[in-house]
Chain A
Amino acid sequence: MDIYTLSALELGHKIAGREISAPEATQAMLDRITATDQTVKAYLTVVPEQALAQAALIQQRLDNGEQLMPLAGVPMAIKDNISTKGLRTTCGSKMLWDYVPPYNATAADRLLAGGAVLLGKTNLDEFAMGNTTETSYGGITTNPWASDRVPGGSSGGSAAAVAAGEAVYALGSDTGGSIRQPASYCGVTGLKPTYGAVSRFGLVAYGSSLDQIGPLAKTAADCGAILAQIAGPDSKDSTAMPAGRNLDTTALLKSIEPGQSVKGLKIGIPAEYFGEGLQPEVRTAVEAAAAQLAELGATVEPCHLPLVEEGIATYYLIATAEASANLARYDGIQYGFRPTGQAYEDLADFYAQARTEGFGPEVRRRIMLGTFALSSGYYDAYYLKALKVRKLLQQGYREALSRFDLLIGPVAPTTAPKIGTTLSDPLQGYLADIYTVAANLTGLPGLSLPCGFDQIGLPIGVQLIGRAFDEATLVRTGVTYQEATGYHRQSPAL
């Protein structure tokens, strides 16, 4: 048995039962990273000494009989836009290449406090802006299933690390599909929680009203266990919902136990999620997943959702508008990249140089888009209109979810594209987010589950969208589905 093939709950169980020690598990993962990350390039930073020291400490605490989380001692990775105290957090950008945060993100803090062992920080599209992990200043991460393919993005490093066995699980962030889509491309399970379920404190903001931290792991049960550890109110984030309005952790933890059922669940399958441009194998696999759930006792019925296509424009207007302000702080004054040895005429010239050189082309494109959308004279036509469409979308999804417990559809229209194809046509790249952005615009939770492979062996993902703060039903459905299928148990030959 290779340690790196175990799920997080399996490994956590073995560590708790003294079958495997935390340092042993950590060493095994570090060895795996050494063996495969030269190809996958999932990590921007690996911290072997720190990880082993942390593992030894956790082992000691376990040996002392301390009560830690079920995943204590399990080695994991964190996306490099989630702040880690004393450990550089680059956001995949030249701008923050040497930036070391003085504090931990709340989600990271809660995992570390529960006994997680941090292996390192994973690659991403620069500032999480992209869906291929090709725009990082740290280079391209490859898909563990095919090294000429992208892993998806922006949490491509996290997804690839889990798929390659270089991390037992990882944290990602999802603004328009950035957890679910790479999970789908890499054949792992990814969960975007309800907006407000997990504190955003310490997550370097891209689109603040859309961003959410969530887990990527081998199983839906793992995702549930990780979410239970990181979710909950946080006095440092006013958009993290207070207790009572947040998710029910007890129900969530119950949903990860074996022997779950989907009997009686009503699942809607929106016709609009099977539109033009959907790869036939993706359609077949997703329909098969729906049929599988029906066979397991759920009722699956066709339904309709409004404004699915308009969702993309809405998403890109709101996300870029917020990003234009969120990224304005990277001006070369206080921290981050600053042009040196160059003359600048005045303050404006200094800012222009710092930001032109510090940011890559995609980030600059989105900052300009967002700046335009908020500009005097265009605000009403673009930003305000996008807010109105967002309201309508929210109403439409709320209405659908009043009749169904879950909605089912593809995560992405296609399997992982070849490296280079998306960057050559950015607009086409934006369209790949069509099925994922709605969960962010509506704030609803979404789960991506492996549900098959295309003809050349690339993984396909199915997406489940649930009611706000009802992650328990999502996870329960995922657990039931994964007990009946084996797609999530497949791993790439590396």
Chain B
Amino acid sequence: MSYETVIGLEVHVELSTASKIFCSCETTFGGEPNTHCCPVCTGLPGALPVLNEQVVDYAIRTCLATHCAITPLTRFDRKNYFYPDLPKAYQISQLHKPIGRNGHLEIETAEGLKKIGIHEIHMEEDAGKLIHDPWEDCTLVDYNRCGVPLLEIVSEPDLRSAEEALIYLEKLRSILQFLGVSDCRMEQGSLRADVNVSVRPVGSQTFGTRTEMKNMNSFKAIGRAIVAEAKRQIDLIEDGKTIKQETRRWDENKDSSFAMRSKEDAMDYRYFPDPDLVAINITPDWIERVRSGLAELPESRRARYIADWQLSEYEAGVLTTHPAIANLFEETATLSGRPKDAASWMLGEFMQAAKEQECEPQDLHMPAQSLATLIARVAEGVVNRNTAKKIFTQILENKVDPDAYIEQNGLRMVSNPDALKDKIAEIIAANPQSIVDYKAGKTKAMGFLVGQVMRAMQGKADPQLLNELLKDALDRA
């Protein structure tokens, strides 16, 4: 029998607001343990939460971009459970009146466009972090992350393969990044996804028993977990066994999962409306204000790049994978007036550098003005492309100003024929065999001599001029 995999995703993203959701502590990742805390986010007796409205703004942006209906009187609930990383022993979350419902995202699959339903979007606070100290054999709590705002985006079970799930995740991530609501860094935990998986015989209309998979820390791991879980479930069915509804934990090293808790031990969170927070009245005016300030989304940018700047579908696609890339590209293209060159540098050197340094594109130091200057200098013939690449690296590594660097290091191309002629004469005199070879029709000799002159001139010779003059000299020799 052949089976169909049914997947739903619960994506948690940390919002990149400056302060936490219910207090004014900063949200910056890292920092000495327990330094970004106050009585509110550490749940001291008598402290009260006060909602950071920026969180609501960000949530509205996300709802608008995912076509969700926005709940006019949205409200927070308390989700009760005991755990040492949760200082109030309840998480302020949303159950009864989440901010958004009934949205969707369109993804491009091999079979064409597909609409993936968004069941709901809700706001909540993050918990702290437990750090085990193996020396003292004790567990320490860092409350810095407590109260960092989260959005949970719950999809409908509309995904049918690991590939689709990953396309959906990439699409969602790029939207969230372009909206400016989250940096979505899985390695820092600012994007986390739990996966619900079930299988059913192809053609069946009823859902199979689903399991929930947690603890995947990369998109790759999510894909592998889905494939492995679907296989595990199919194997059970084929063996005549039943699938238990349970939560499972993915073990990346073992490439397999194990059961964490079954449905029977599912916790009763005793949700109830948080009396400390009043309902939020999201007026049509508020929604319009957010809508009018909404950043341009990747699809629209891609279309613009193709139409206005004649980029290829591929180039435009890569340039819109991340807002930092798209923004740098657009600014550079505009400043230099050479969008094609800007695209070429972005797709080539810039992406290469990001890959080599294994960092997010926004972490690379590359001011648009510097890149635009560099592009202009190549076009003007001030430096050649090879020298420009070196300067590009200097900008990245040492934050140099390209013009100043060119001057300080005397990198201007030598396009003075007299200076070149002198050097050519020197090189020809020193390499008599090459002339013989050249005359014998060995074109390699020409290349060798160009290299020699270039080296002697520290790479600053205008290559075109050098070629002409050298050929001239050889023909006359």
**Residues on A close to B: CB < 8 A?**
81-83, 89, 91, 96, 99, 101-103, 105, 200-205, 207-209, 235-239, 321-322, 324-325, 328-329, 331, 333-335, 347-348, 351, 371, 374-376, 379, 383
Contact = CB atoms under 8 A, between A and B. Distances in A.
B272 A239 contact: no
Contacts of A204: 45-46
B45 A89 contact: yes
B272 A325 contact: yes
A351 B275 contact: no
Nearest to A372: B270
Given A200-B48, A333-B84, A347-B84, A238 B43 contact: no
Contact of B45 (A91, A237, A331, A374): A91
Contacts of B295: none
Given A371-B270, A376-B270, 20 more contacts: A82-B46, A83-B45, A103-B39, A200-B48, A236-B50, A237-B50, A238-B49, A238-B278, A239-B276, A324-B270, A325-B78, A325-B80, A328-B80, A331-B82, A331-B84, A331-B89, A334-B42, A335-B44, A351-B82, A379-B270
Contact of B268 (A200, A203, A205, A376): A376
Given A328-B80, A347-B84, A351-B82, A374 B272 contact: yes
A205 B46 contact: yes
Nearest to B50: A238
A207 B272 CA distance: 13
B141 interface: yes
A348 B267 CA distance: 13
Interface in B334-386: none
A105 B78 contact: no
B46 A235 contact: no
Nearest to B267: A376
Contacts of A376: 268, 270
The winner among A208, A239, A325, A347 for most chain B CB atoms within 10 A is A325
Interface residues of B, number: 29
Contact of A105 (B42, B46, B87, B88): B46
B48 A325 contact: no
Contacts, number: 101
8 contacts: A89-B45, A101-B44, A204-B46, A238-B276, A239-B276, A324-B270, A329-B87, A333-B87
Contacts of B396: none
A96 B50 contact: no
Interface in B66-93: 78, 80, 82-84, 87-90
A472 B90 CA distance: 38
Nearest to A207: B275
Contacts of A334: 42-43, 87, 141
B51 interface: yes
A374 B84 CA distance: 22
The winner among B46, B271, B272 for most chain A CB atoms within 10 A is B46
B43 to A, nearest CB: 5
B82 A209 contact: no
Contacts of A89: 45-46
The winner among A81, A207, A239, A348 for most chain B CB atoms within 10 A is A239
Contacts of B45: 83, 89, 91, 96, 99, 101, 204-205, 329
Contacts of B277: 238
| Interface SS of B by simple majority | loop
B50 A321 contact: no
A411 B83 CA distance: 42
Contacts of A379: 270, 272
The winner among B83, B88, B89 for most chain A CB atoms within 10 A is B89
Contact of B88 (A209, A237, A321, A328): A328
B39 A333 contact: no
Interface of B: 39, 42-51, 78, 80, 82-84, 87-90, 141, 268, 270-272, 275-278
Contact of A238 (B44, B51, B84, B141): B51
B200 to A, nearest CB: 28
A202 B275 CA distance: 15
A83 B268 contact: no
The winner among B47, B48, B78, B89 for most chain A CB atoms within 10 A is B48
B47 A201 contact: yes
The winner among A82, A238, A239, A324 for most chain B CB atoms within 10 A is A238
Given A202-B46, A204-B45, A375 B141 contact: no
Contacts of B278: 238-239
A235 B23 CA distance: 11
A345 B265 CA distance: 19
A466 B83 CA distance: 43
Contacts of B271: 374
A81 B87 CA distance: 19
A155 B90 CA distance: 28
The winner among B83, B271, B275 for most chain A CB atoms within 10 A is B275
Nearest to B87: A334
Nearest to B39: A103
A227 B43 CA distance: 28
A196 B48 CA distance: 13
Contacts of A348: 82
A37 B45 CA distance: 28
The winner among A96, A99, A201 for most chain B CB atoms within 10 A is A201
A160 to B, nearest CB: 23
A329 B275 contact: no
B201 to A, nearest CB: 33
A381 to B, nearest CB: 14
Nearest to B85: A333
Contacts of A325: 78, 80, 89-90, 270, 272
B46 A329 contact: no
A346 to B, nearest CB: 12
A322 B275 CA distance: 8
A383 B77 CA distance: 14
B254 to A, nearest CB: 25
A208 B272 contact: no
Given A329-B89, A331-B89, A375-B270, A83 B46 contact: yes
A239 B48 CA distance: 10
B159 to A, nearest CB: 29
B276 A208 contact: yes
B47 A375 contact: no
A201 B48 contact: yes
A331 B88 CA distance: 9
Given A329-B45, A347-B84, A376-B268, A102 B51 contact: no
Contacts of B47: 103, 201-202
A20 to B, nearest CB: 34
Nearest to B80: A325
B90 A328 contact: yes
Contacts of B48: 200-201, 236-239
Contacts of A201: 46-48
B87 A321 contact: no
A205 to B, nearest CB: 7
Contact of A235 (B50, B87, B89, B268): B50
A374 B44 contact: no
A260 B48 CA distance: 38
A81 B42 CA distance: 18
B132 to A, nearest CB: 13
Nearest to A321: B272
B20 to A, nearest CB: 14
